[in-house]
Structure 1
């Protein structure tokens, strides 16, 4: 390999990008973990990311405020998740089928609305974009300072959400109740827990967090909306949850792994390396599949994807 790909500046650039590339996955996986710990598949996360990206873009475009754009993205993600929760938790529809249908609907409706509002043009409509926020003192730490502490606010919040998710699920009574519903809803019901209410709340949380992940795509990773810009990240988040064994900290490592692979393939393409770009595009998925296959079996919540009907 050429010295270009081994020099320190190249490595630092890849690691900086890896943090950014992993951020939408972090938001999506944390939301998905809440949902799946309660027994509801997060297979519709791809659609939630997409409507979040569109909602964030539209919100920022019409209000001129990025934070309002994020709030509107959360609203869009929450509404999408609420629909999913109603059809699966309340009515008892197949979570896999409804989730897949939701993704297809999100792809269609966001593309239709974008074209209806902005027309069909090769020129993309742009909005503002979250800028990097340097953390005083910490950003000056040699090497790691520029990697970890020169990111935008959604990156910092994403890492905080990982800790909040872990603490909530494993160190609070509410988290214990969520996990008990995902493992044995009948037993949870007998002690007075409203199983379907808990599940709907967790699905709603997944939509709110996934909506922020979508907003990151259109307001931090880019400054516009592009049809299908979620680019299978929702499906990857679904796989990362399994890779991380349904634990927020394990899922964080999976997100960073995928983010690193994605950043590496992009930087290698930009450097002009003599490898067909199609092979480089495969790198994140091949790496993630390889790690998932070698990680061993993950113990999923016992009642995952199983509707609950109170007797």
Structure 2
């Protein structure tokens, strides 16, 4: 019984630790399914975290804080879309610049946010909401049915995106653009419009991921609050093979590794305690990500590969 309680609590924390990664992965899928490689996920998450926190302490309205965070991420994505879609700029360089830009904005706002706590009116709606009966299921109950509404929303969003890409005409059009934008254009699909909508949507979702950290998970302002989560999200998009449902498992697995890192801070061998360096433990989730990507690269099946036109700017004149 004690083991079930401990396992349930560990998995519950793993889900909480991986939720912002899930938002980052879903945002990345929105980018890449439309054929755009965006390395600016970290910057958009930081923009969402800082703007969301600032709005929260200014208005005291949790909905306004979340929406503002999403719009901040979308604003960063609009800069990226204008340069890469309209001006046909280099996608990789633009994404890197966006990360630098978002980091600068969050650092600038952070100077005024550190000493100001969020009002309870903002944090209260995001506290745990246990589902009656289901939350009492051993192990899986606390993990799946005793979480913040923000976490429930992240799972719902992943399911909706899966259905969107798999079962709707619009989703099929996006997949066609990612594979062959010239053929999609020839069939009457507005390639630029689809790219803009999905890049902005991806930025909005990344902003929500940043807001989860500053409004729900921490919830207070910390410098560089994402701690590289945007880069991990970019890598895990490949790991989950651009599948929103697999993104849930990938994000939660990363959260479990982060939780395991805290569990391993003090190991006992017999009667002797061994304190592992925290820097070494910090490497575990990132090292695991690198190993997984290497293995995936060696065993990539054709059906699990990314969109064929990923990272390539589309020139209609060359059609």
TM over 0.5: yes
Choose from 20, 31, 34 the match for 1:35.
Answer: 31
How many angstroms apart in 2 are the aligned matches of 1:153 and 1:162? 14
Choose from 144, 147, 162 the match for 2:143.
Answer: 147
TM-score by length of 2: 0.90
Q: 2:229 — aligned with what?
A: 233
Instruction: Write out aligned runs for 1:177-196 (5 A).
Output: 177-196=173-192
How many angstroms apart in 2 are the aligned matches of 1:270 and 1:132? 29
- For the 8 Å contact 1:88–1:95, the answer to whether it is kept is yes
- For the 8 Å contact 1:183–1:302, the answer to whether it is kept is yes
Q: 1:3 — aligned with what?
A: none
How many angstroms apart in 2 are the aligned matches of 1:108 and 1:21? 25
How many angstroms apart in 1 are the aligned matches of 2:47 and 2:266? 30
3-state DSSP of counterpart to 1:142 = coil
Q: 1:173 — aligned with what?
A: 169
1:302 and 2:293 equivalent? no
State the Cα distance separating 1:12 from its structure 2 match.
2.8
State the Cα distance separating 1:108 from its structure 2 match.
1.1
State the Cα distance separating 1:263 from its structure 2 match.
1.4
Aligned residue pairs total 301
Q: 2:270 — aligned with what?
A: none
Unaligned runs of 5+ in 1: 1-5
State the Cα distance separating 1:273 from its structure 2 match.
5.6
- For the 8 Å contact 2:4–2:138, the answer to whether it is kept is no
- For the 8 Å contact 1:74–1:210, the answer to whether it is kept is yes
Q: 1:292 — aligned with what?
A: 293
Instruction: Write out aligned runs for 1:123-162 (5 A).
Output: 124-127=115-118, 128=120, 129=123, 130-162=126-158
How many angstroms apart in 1 are the aligned matches of 2:263 and 2:57? 30
1:55 and 2:51 equivalent? yes
State the Cα distance separating 1:230 from its structure 2 match.
1.2
- For the 8 Å contact 1:257–1:288, the answer to whether it is kept is no
State the Cα distance separating 1:9 from its structure 2 match.
4.3
State the Cα distance separating 1:246 from its structure 2 match.
1.3
Instruction: Write out aligned runs for 1:266-281 (5 A).
Output: 266-269=262-265, 274-281=275-282
Unaligned runs of 5+ in 2: 268-272
3-state DSSP of counterpart to 1:21 = helix
State the Cα distance separating 1:270 from its structure 2 match.
7.5
Residue by residue, what CA displacement relative to the aligned partner does 1:129-168 show, whole Å, maximum 9, x if unpaired?
A: 2211111221122232122111101100001111101000
Instruction: Identify the range of structure 1 (300-309 vs 272-281) with the bigger mean alpha-carbon deviation.
Output: 272-281
- CA RMSD in angstroms, aligned pairs only: 1.8
Q: 1:259 — aligned with what?
A: 255
State the Cα distance separating 1:252 from its structure 2 match.
2.2
3-state DSSP of counterpart to 1:220 = helix
